[in-house]
Chain A
Amino acid sequence: MNKIEAIIKPFKLDEVKEALAEIGIQGMTVSEVKGFGRQKGQTEVFRGSEYTVDFVPKIKLEIVVADEAVDRVVKAIQETAKTGKIGDGKIFVIPISRAMRIRTAETGEAAV
């Protein structure tokens, strides 16, 4: 099992969710985060002056899937979340040692 963690632009969330539903992914966890990479924040305007916002709002998606699904999921996220402009985000894959479904106490791949 692997966890796929993706940091994406907030307005891309619906598209990514649709794309994942199309390849059969049935669940995910989403959180609102702030961050920057080489984008280095953005410049905004207020009352006639510019100021820099260091941390830009992003969405973090976390999905735990069986090993054979990882490539499909990563590809789907990368293709839909991409805009071609700086700040598109990153995808990380982290191995998961255990998983359990709380309602039924199932473990392993049956739990994801």
Chain B
Amino acid sequence: MADDTHSLVAPYALDALDEQEERAFEQHLALCERCREDLAGLREAAAMLAYGAGRATPPPELKERILDQARAERANVVSIRRRRSWTIPLGAAAAVAACAAVVVGIWAATLQNSSDPLEKVLSQPGARLISMGRAGGVAVAPSGDAALAVALPQAPAGKTYEAWVIRSGRAARAGLFPGTAATSVVEIARPVPPGSVVAVTLERAGGVTQPTSKPLAQSKAT
């Protein structure tokens, strides 16, 4: 089954899957590093095919229509953003943008919920958001408080996701979570000192004392 799903990478790059196949492949993609790597190269080749069609000149009013609508949408977005004080210097790190999508989504969903662990970390002065690649990111405050925001599907039966704080090559347990179709927001159960790495592995239910598999998500050093 896993192999079969892997073979969907080229049809996916060409947008040649039906909706059901596409959903199945995207779930697989979240967990399969090899597919993500293959996809990056194949997508690039597929996009080049667009140039093979030749350029055509759209009517000038198309540009105006697009820009008018974009500006109209911006008015709404800005009003949401202003409701919260975003303490992270936005231009500071590419990492911020990398997980911004995930975080903004959660942020919107938790506007009413000040007990949200991510919000608790991000509201501290000097908090930073560190990318974990495609899976999401981790927010870390100078106090060592940290919270994960990761897109990992529900763990299979008998399994759990386990978070780790890794420092000087030593991994310390930092909490379990089940995963969900939406984004998981998880408080990291121990302080995250500067220079450490936060990672997530899939383990047997109940968790383990040391990671037994390759991380599904891993941050850069904090």
Q: Are A and B genuine complex partners?
A: no
List residues of B whose CB falls within 8 A of some A CB: none
